[in-house]
Structure 1
């Protein structure tokens, strides 16, 4: 995924309303009225969120007669997840090292227990 597209995906995901819309679309396609229902905002405001999601490649929109339906496009989410997975491995490795260092310290200092104060 090009960096600029990845930035667009993360920018789109930064908003809780857009994340909620994606969650709803994971259950199936929906029109603007259905998507606007749980929010205290107008359909035009929801349409703005949909344009951001569409621009990020997270949804596609199509017409069926007079209705316009939004559809979740999950591929950009998979690619963003893969990007974040690298950092998850980084943090897990560092936490594992910290846990190992703590265990070694506690083995060398058995009289000091976790949470024990030394006043």
Structure 2
């Protein structure tokens, strides 16, 4: 089974299906390139994502302070503040992706380095 891209959805899918299928993830970067690359985002993993990662036996991320509320402020004006139903965590996606890819490879998931472009996708 092939998965195109190792974004969060691709990684979750690979973890979810790895015990039932031979998985190949097609990704244009190696885990090392991702780890050493530019900051993609500091994505927040809310409760549903954290639960899915636990259900799929994804590696536990470093212990950190959990996010329990959200505050939106522009300039000096607070626009919104609210408590989350479940704690969330903030993750540097470079480190999270690279680590998850490495663990998946150790568990038998294949990674094929290839860049998909619009022209070959149309063929």
Under TM normalisation by the shorter chain, which class is it?
under 0.3
What's the TM-score once normalised by structure 2's chain length? 0.26
What's the TM-score once normalised by structure 1's chain length? 0.27
Higher relative contact order by CA 8 Å / sep ≥ 6: 1 or 2?
2
User: Which structure shows the bigger proportion of residues in strand conformation?
Assistant: 2
| Larger CA Rg, structure 1 vs 2 | 1
